[in-house]
Amino acid sequence: MEAITHNLVAVIIQIFCFQYILFPLNIIFTIIFAYISHLFVDALSKMTYHTPDVHKDDKFWVVWHVIIYSASLLSIVILIIPYWLGILFANIIDVWDWFILRPLKKTKVKSGADPNWGQKWYLHKHADWVSDNFFGWLPNWRHKYFGIITEVVIIIFLSIMIIIIF
């Protein structure tokens, strides 16, 4: 799923942890639950329009990603204070895999390393395990345009939950 979805789930987790768990356990549980939430949210991404590769030639893909990336950035700007802890740990898997490990792998492969270099360090493989073992029955709409409806509904639902519990 996209960053906005991870962010909204993280906010809900942090609100509940900070309301119902005493310090310092509220911080520890926020970190743990936010991290684990990434695995489950990504496991559900198979029901959303979430192609594994970039499709710059597809106007629908480009427009959707401009919208969803803008919404994700806006969610960070609005929610980072005071929910930075939950947001950070709900997105740490993407930060590691997409912004640290992939560029490093690309550099290593260009310098002659094995094309499979770093595979064992990708954290998304754990989300794939969760998806295969708990959500294998869900439909795969990753390449279906109508899959954006699923993510939009989830985003609206999570936003309403935050408004209600806040």
Q: Has residue 166 got a pLDDT over 80?
A: no
Per-residue model confidence (pLDDT) at position 87: 97
Which pLDDT tens digit goes with each residue over 93-104? 999 998 999 889
Which pLDDT tens digit goes with each residue over 82-121? 999 999 999 999 999 989 998 898 888 888 878 887 888 8
When pLDDT is averaged across residues 137-157 and rounded to a whole number, the result is 94
When pLDDT is averaged across residues 148-153 and rounded to a whole number, the result is 95
Which tokens hold the place of 119? 């595979």
Q: What is the rounded distance in angstroms from the CA atom of residue 35 to the CA atom of residue 10?
A: 9
Q: What is the rounded distance in angstroms from the CA atom of residue 162 to the CA atom of residue 156?
A: 10
Which tokens hold the place of 61? 């893909």
Whole-number mean pLDDT of the chain?
93
Which one-letter amino acid corresponds to residue 44? L
Q: What is the rounded distance in angstroms from the CA atom of residue 69 to the CA atom of residue 149?
A: 16
Give the CA radius of gyration of the chain: 17
Residue spans per domain, the chain: 3-91+140-165
